[in-house]
Structure formats: C-alpha cells, structure tokens
C-alpha cells in the first residue's frame, strides 16, 4: 500500500476529492491517503497557505495528489502552486490532452502530451522597476541543465510509451539566447533517440497548427511560458480544463493536480466535475506502475461518458451531479 499525501484544496476541492477517493477505493487501488491542507483553507486554519506539516509530509512520502488551491491575496505568495514546484524542484509539468467520447468539441483524434519546463523562464519572478510605474523589466532564465532534463524526459516518455514524434516549441528566431539554447539542446538530445521523430516549431506557428491539425502532434516539449499557454490551449481542444489531468515531476518528488480553479461560486452545489482530478489520479497510478488499474478506471470513465451522459455534470452536457457521476463509475467495478 503506497502512502500518498492528499491535499483536497479549496472551493470544490473537497467534493472532487471525495469522488476520487471513492472511485479509487472501488477499483481497489493500492493507495493510502495522508491528508493535509494548503491554500486558503490552510491560511484560515494555520495562518499560512503552505504549512510546514504539509511540506514535511510531501518530503516524507514523495508523492501528492492536490486539488485546486486559492492563493490568498497579500500573503507574500505569488502562487502556492509555484511555491510547491520550486520547493520540490518539480521541473516537468506534464499535461496530456486526449479526445474523449461524448464530449462536444469539433476536434477529433487528439492525443498529445505536453512537457513544460516548470522552474525557469519568465516565471522565476525576477522583475524590477527601472522607473516606478513607467518602465518595468522582467528577466527570463534558461539553463542548459534544466533544458536537458525536461527535453530528455520528453524523449524518454516517447520512447517508453510507443510515441512516434517529439515536437520542440521555441522562439529562437527572436529570443536567440534563451530559447535558442533550448533548441540547441533539443537537437542534440534528439540524436540519442533515432527511433523517435523530431521537429521544432516556432511558438506562433505551433499555436496555429494546434487549432488547424491537432491530430498531427504527439509529444510536445517547450519552455515555461509557452508550455503554460499551449497546455491550456490543448485542454481547450478536448473540452477544457475540467477534463484534463496534470502532473509535476521532479527527481525526488511528484505532485499530481487538477489545474482548473477552485470554483467557489459552485462549491457545495454538487455541480463540480471531478474528471480532471480523476485523470490526475490516474497519472499518479501510472507513475506508481499501477497501469492496469488506471486503464480500468479510464475505461469506466469512457463508458459513462458514452452511454450514461445524462448523469454527468452540467459543464459537459449532462443533467447529473458530482455524486451521480461518481456512483456510475463505481458501479462498473
């Protein structure tokens, strides 16, 4: 039995957490939850949005499943999520986007996985005023080490999972030093994986191609800012942030999460769609090597989406609730 730190989060977090716990229990997933808090909930209870007890639990167990967090205003945190990534050096943000049965979208046969460098670029937060409220500057940092580890992770994932191509996204025609370095490293690592096709695309062309021919993409690797934007775009192709999971992987820890907001406006109303959090939990199971159980749960989700659409949550066209969706999946085990 693997102990996993479980952070329900804020807003709808408790509802989707209960759903995922019930489904994994019904599927007999070999996990034991160790619950801790973060975000607004933690601030209200402990005075800090990221308690030391939560950090220590992740250090101890190395794995966490995290619901949506609200970063409290005026606490000194730019983002609790970013703080967690930096604290545990979770350098790889992995965001799959796959066409789902029954989800109304004009795009078909989408099956891509985006690897986003998670620790550098513009998101390091090195900003300063040159002239107060008139001239601001922000520094982007790209290093060879961080580029190598995210690009290698993308290629290794492709090779291990039968993926045929890696697309590296950059802006090296303009940002010649930073994304130029990223592209240089990518071309070098690509030569180590002759069985995996390699291409590079400028980010603006990539965005256009994703909405014209998304089915042509397989594994995508890019820098922090570009990955943030393109991964949300990829989710939009298959139904939105409510139907796609995410993982943040480091060398010594991994945190899987729902990337949508905490949606306080619908909290407690039974309208919350647990699917994104559930897909994140399936990524966690696959990380643990429990691929058979993950596939069984995924197959159950597809059955419910295809054959029992009416009991799904309203955001994906159903007339049901969080509990009706959860119960329908549990009945399939």
Confirm if 97 and 114 have CB atoms less than 8 A apart: yes
Reply yes or no on whether 123 is catalytic.
yes
The residue count of the chain comes to 333
Tokens of 122: 């513009």
Give φ, ψ of 13 to 5 degrees.
-55, -45
Tokens of 85: 């990534």
Reply yes or no on whether 228 is catalytic.
yes
What CATH number has the domain spanning 105-238?
Answer: 3.40.718.10
Predicted local confidence at residue 73, as pLDDT: 67
Confirm if 127 and 136 have CB atoms less than 8 A apart: yes
Tokens of 277: 């959090």
* Start-end of H helices in 191-290: 203-212, 224-238, 275-287
Residues 129-147: pLDDT tens digits? 999 889 999 999 999 999 9
Q: For residue 72, how many other CB atoms are within 10 A of its CB?
A: 18
Tokens of 141: 């940092």
Predicted local confidence at residue 221, as pLDDT: 98
Measured N-to-C along each axis, helices 322-330 and 13-26 cross at an angle, to the nearest 10 degrees, of: 10
- Of 44, 164, 176, 204, which is the active-site residue? 204
pLDDT, averaged in runs of 10, over the chain (333 residues): 95 96 97 96 92 97 95 69 90 97 92 96 87 92 96 97 97 95 98 97 98 97 97 97 96 95 92 97 97 97 92 93 97 94
Measuring CA to CA, which residue among 287, 294, 299 is closest to residue 255?
287
Tokens 């990380």: give the residue: 287
Predicted local confidence at residue 183, as pLDDT: 98
- Residues ≥6 apart with Cβ < 8 Å to 310: 318, 319, 320
Tokens of 52: 């030391």
Task: List, by residue range, all CATH 3.40.718.10 domains of the chain.
Answer: 1-100+240-333, 105-238
What is the Cα–Cα distance from 303 to 281, expressed in whole angstroms?
Answer: 18
Predicted local confidence at residue 77, as pLDDT: 64
Measured N-to-C along each axis, helices 203-212 and 224-238 cross at an angle, to the nearest 10 degrees, of: 10
What CATH number has the domain spanning 1-100+240-333?
Answer: 3.40.718.10
What is the Cα–Cα distance from 151 to 12, expressed in whole angstroms?
Answer: 34
- Of 10, 171, 200, 218, which is the active-site residue? 171
- Of 123, 157, 200, 218, which is the active-site residue? 123
């Amino acid at each position: 039995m693997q102990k996993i730190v479980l952070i329900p989060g804020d807003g709808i977090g408790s509802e989707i957490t209960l759903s995922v716990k019930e489904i994994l229990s019904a599927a007999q997933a070999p996990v034991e939850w160790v619950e801790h808090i973060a975000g607004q909930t933690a601030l209200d209870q402990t005075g800090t949005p990221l308690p030391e007890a939560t950090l220590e639990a992740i250090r101890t167990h190395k794995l966490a499943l995290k619901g949506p967090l609200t970063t409290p205003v005026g606490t000194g945190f730019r983002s609790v999520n970013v703080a967690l990534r930096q604290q545990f050096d979770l350098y790889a943000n992995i965001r799959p986007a796959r066409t789902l049965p029954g989800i109304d979208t004009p795009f078909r046969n989408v099956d891509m996985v985006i690897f986003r460098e998670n620790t550098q670029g513009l998101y390091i937060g090195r900003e300063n005023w040159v002239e107060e409220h008139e001239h601001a500057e922000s520094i982007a940092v790209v290093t060879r080490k961080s580029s190598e580890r995210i690009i290698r992770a993308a290629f290794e994932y492709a090779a291990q999972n039968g993926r045929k191509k890696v697309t590296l996204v950059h802006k090296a025609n303009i940002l010649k030093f930073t994304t130029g370095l990223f592209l240089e490293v990518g071309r070098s690592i690509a030569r180590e994986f002759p069985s995996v096709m390699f291409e590079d695309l400028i980010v603006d062309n990539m965005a256009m191609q994703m909405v014209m021919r998304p089915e042509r993409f397989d594994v995508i690797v890019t820098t922090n800012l570009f990955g943030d934007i393109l991964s949300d775009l990829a989710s939009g192709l298959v139904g939105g942030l409510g139907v796609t999971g995410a993982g943040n992987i480091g060398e010594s820890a991994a945190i899987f999460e729902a990337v949508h907001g905490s949606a306080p406006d619908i909290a407690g109303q039974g309208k919350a769609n647990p699917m994104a959090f559930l897909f994140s939990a399936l990524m966690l199971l696959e990380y643990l090597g429990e691929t058979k159980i993950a596939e069984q749960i995924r197959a159950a989700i597809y059955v419910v989406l295809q054959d029992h659409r009416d009991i799904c949550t309203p955001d994906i066209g159903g007339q049901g609730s969080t509990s009706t969706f959860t119960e329908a999946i549990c009945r399939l085990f």
